Amino acid sequence: MRQSDVAGGKRLTVLALLWAGTVARATCLPAENSLASPGDSATVDSLRAVARRPQLPDSVRFQTLRALSDALFAQDEPEARRVGEQAVQLARHRRDWPGVADGLYQLVVNCERAADYVAAMQYSQEGAGVARMHQLPDEWRFTQCMGLVSVDTKDVTGGLKYMRQAYQQQGAVGNVPPRERGGLLLNLANTFLVMQRYDSVLHYATRALPYMQRAKDARGLGYVYQFRGEVYAMIKPQTTATLDSAATNMNRALRIMQRHGFRPQTASSALALARVYRLQGLPAVSQRMAELALTLARELKMPDYEADALANLAWAHADQGQMRRSFDLDNRAQNLRDSLFNGDKAQALAQLQVRYDVKLLTEQKRAAEFEQRSQRAQLHSLWLLLGGLTTTIGVGSWLYWRLRRQKALLAVANQANCRSVAEKEVLLQEIHHRVKNNLQLVSGLLGWQASTLPEPALVAALTASRDRIQSMAMVHEFLYQADNLAEVRMDQYLRELLDSLKTALTTPEQAIQLSTDLAPVIMSPKEASTLGLVVNEMVTNAYKHAFRGLAQGHLLVSFASRPTGFQLTIADDGAGMPAQDAPAKAHSLGMQLVRTLTKQLKAKLSVTRSFPTGTRMEVTRE
């Protein structure tokens, strides 16, 4: 069973991203813009018959084509886009610019719902240009949709830029409905949640609350409370007050979603509550929430939610001492996750290609705008120099043609390289995923074996080995989920490792405060794994020996950057290491392992006494 499912906040981050996709689709297009029932064959046939009438007024034909396009998207996306573009072309012919904007906006939303992000970005850019040129109040909607597409394709920085621009554009427009103002604020909160900027998430979600109350938008209110609950659950250090606030907000979201029949959102809220209740020490309540989420996930055929619910149920049974049932549920969750990962390899490659296509489309738009500005400047210069610069113009045209040809060849080469890199990234991610799964399997077997042994010494030895394997597995888990497979951010990795160790080693008899000061140092996966083992040994040793016989204590873990290396410091205010124990401790298995790993890192180890009490251990590489 993975420690990271309950320590370090990863569970809530995953749920937040699932909420993010729902919020994006719920707030991008108001419900009243849906013009027909998708997938209704009778409706499609009747709309086609109306559109074929020769004497139909243009205004009626325009609305009929929009309704037909909306209905066709569930059946035939290319045909739906063709019909939608006919409606836009008809509005252009009539010089009905608000109609052009409405038609393009409908195409944007339907393409985004169908996950055709390249087309959605293209229509968004076209719609923003029409709104800007004809001074329509709709530009902010298209800018918001460009932000949603950027976030969906993992360009979060670009998405935040578009969202802020949309917020400024919306502020300059009067009479915006409360639901749309609240929707944009929720999309800003979602973007900051993906970026893990929790203060901003709380700020924008709270600001969206009065707008959703005024609009009587139940789904929007549920999202507000869910976002707030997510943030309170992620705040470090976790206290009784923050967990109570998280549970209160998530319960409000759950009641709203249940009352109005939003079943996928109900499952997501139940999963988040299951984790919070476990952190509050309420395993029975956590089990009920996980069972509710599991039932809904199976009814709705949502395997990713089903795997998360099984993992939460496994922890709930483990907290209640039902180890055999817990082990069985965890194996089922892991098998389901593996099947999902294997089935998504092709989808991951497609997603990388879509991300590349969206970025390429944005760059092409910028290049086109730059080229238009350049052509206008060239035209102005030509008018000034016409009559005496015929030769210069010829030479300039030839150079321009050569430059364009070289840029085209370079673009083709870059596209081929991006595809090759994308394929290799997916394959390498799968390797890290497999290594992590094998290490998790070994860790689970050691834990199971330890639970069957009567000798405390053997149990302690197996538990220590299991913790060491777990620290190595975390590195591979980080890598197969990261965008950069050659680097590990040590502050994030060590924070999750320390949270996992604290959860495993804390006992009710002692109140040990763990403080951290971790710099965002980048290391290779091999060195990160080695350093993780060092931290695992030192922190485990401190929890087990430094505070023996003490009711409370303080442990500090610091990781700082040096000009050509790093410095790891682990200090406690415990009883300290007696002089007569120093030789024995120096030759223990843990200390021998620490010294060997320190040499592998080409670093130096020092152990000193802190005054008045405690021990200070430093691993330094200059």
Write the DSSP assignment of 329-353 as a string of letters. Answer: HHHHHHHHHHHHHHHTHHHHHHHHH
Residue 292 pLDDT grade (very low, low, confident, very high; cuts 50, 70, 90)? very high
Collapsed DSSP state (helix, strand, coil) of residue 511: strand
Distance in angstroms (rounded) separating the CA atoms of residues 572 and 553: 8
Top-confidence residue, 6 or 299: 299
Distance in angstroms (rounded) separating the CA atoms of residues 523 and 54: 69
Residue 131: what pLDDT?
A: 93
Q: Which of 270, 189, 180 is nearest to 223 (CA)?
A: 189
Distance in angstroms (rounded) separating the CA atoms of residues 522 and 566: 10
Q: Which of 251, 248, 246 is nearest to 234 (CA)?
A: 246
Alpha helices, DSSP H only, in 52-177?
58-72, 77-93, 97-113, 117-133, 139-152, 156-171
What confidence tens digit (pLDDT) does each residue in 336-374 have? 887 776 554 444 444 445 555 555 556 665 555 566 666
Where in the chain are the domains? Answer: 393-486, 488-621
Residue 220 pLDDT grade (very low, low, confident, very high; cuts 50, 70, 90)? very high
Top-confidence residue, 495 or 427: 495
CATH number at 488-621: 3.30.565.10
CB 130 within 8 A of CB 95: no
Distance in angstroms (rounded) separating the CA atoms of residues 349 and 362: 20
What mean pLDDT do residues 250-268 have? 93
What confidence tens digit (pLDDT) does each residue in 10-58 have? 333 323 333 333 333 333 333 333 344 445 678 888 888 888 888 889 8
Residue 362: what pLDDT?
A: 62
Top-confidence residue, 389 or 176: 176
- Please provide the average confidence, as pLDDT, over all residues in the chain: 80
Residue 54: what pLDDT?
A: 87
Residue 348: what pLDDT?
A: 46
Q: Is the pLDDT of residue 326 over 80?
A: yes
Residue whose entry in the numeric block shows the structure tokens 């069973």: 1
Residue 429: what pLDDT?
A: 64
Residue 25: what pLDDT?
A: 34
Neighbouring residues of 214: CB distance < 8 A, sequence distance ≥ 6: 178
Residue 238: what pLDDT?
A: 85
Q: Is the pLDDT of residue 322 over 80?
A: yes
Residue whose entry in the numeric block shows the structure tokens 């700020």: 203
Q: Are strands 565-572 and 615-621 parallel, antiparallel or unpaired?
A: antiparallel
Percentage of the chain surpassing pLDDT 70?
78
Neighbouring residues of 263: CB distance < 8 A, sequence distance ≥ 6: 257, 296, 299, 300
Residue 5 pLDDT grade (very low, low, confident, very high; cuts 50, 70, 90)? very low
Distance in angstroms (rounded) separating the CA atoms of residues 621 and 604: 6
What confidence tens digit (pLDDT) does each residue in 106-119 have? 999 888 888 888 88
Q: What is the DSSP letter of 301?
A: T
What confidence tens digit (pLDDT) does each residue in 123-140 have? 999 999 999 999 999 899
- The CA distances from residue 613 to 84, 516, 555, in Å, are 75, 20, 12
What mean pLDDT do residues 575-592 have? 62
Top-confidence residue, 145 or 466: 145
Residue 550: what pLDDT?
A: 84
What confidence tens digit (pLDDT) does each residue in 472-482 have? 777 777 665 66
Distance in angstroms (rounded) separating the CA atoms of residues 322 and 315: 10
3-state secondary structure 536-566: HHHHHHHHHHHCCCCCEEEEEEEEEEECCEE
Residue 93 pLDDT grade (very low, low, confident, very high; cuts 50, 70, 90)? very high
What confidence tens digit (pLDDT) does each residue in 504-526 have? 788 888 888 999 999 999 988 88
Distance in angstroms (rounded) separating the CA atoms of residues 50 and 66: 12
CB 147 within 8 A of CB 121: no
Distance in angstroms (rounded) separating the CA atoms of residues 282 and 243: 12
Percentage of the chain surpassing pLDDT 90?
39
Distance in angstroms (rounded) separating the CA atoms of residues 213 and 227: 16
Residue 24: what pLDDT?
A: 37
Collapsed DSSP state (helix, strand, coil) of residue 527: helix
Q: Which of 286, 287, 271, 182 is nearest to 230 (CA)?
A: 271
3-state secondary structure 411-459: HHHHHHHHHHHHHHHHHHHHHHHHHHHHHHHHHHHHHHHHHCCCCHHHH
Neighbouring residues of 290: CB distance < 8 A, sequence distance ≥ 6: 270, 271, 274, 309, 312, 313, 316
End-to-end CA separation in angstroms for the chain: 38
Q: Is the pLDDT of residue 295 over 90?
A: yes
Neighbouring residues of 457: CB distance < 8 A, sequence distance ≥ 6: none
Residue 12: what pLDDT?
A: 31
Phi/psi for 303 (5° steps) reads -65, -30
Helix%, strand%, coil% for the chain, nearest 5: 75, 5, 20
Q: Which of 513, 518, 482, 570 is nearest to 10 (CA)?
A: 482
Q: Which of 120-134, 149-163, 369-383 has the lowest mean pLDDT?
A: 369-383
Residue 395: count of CB within 10 angstroms of its CB: 10
Distance in angstroms (rounded) separating the CA atoms of residues 527 and 240: 37
Of 198-207, 233-242, 413-422, highest mean pLDDT = 198-207
Residue 356: what pLDDT?
A: 53
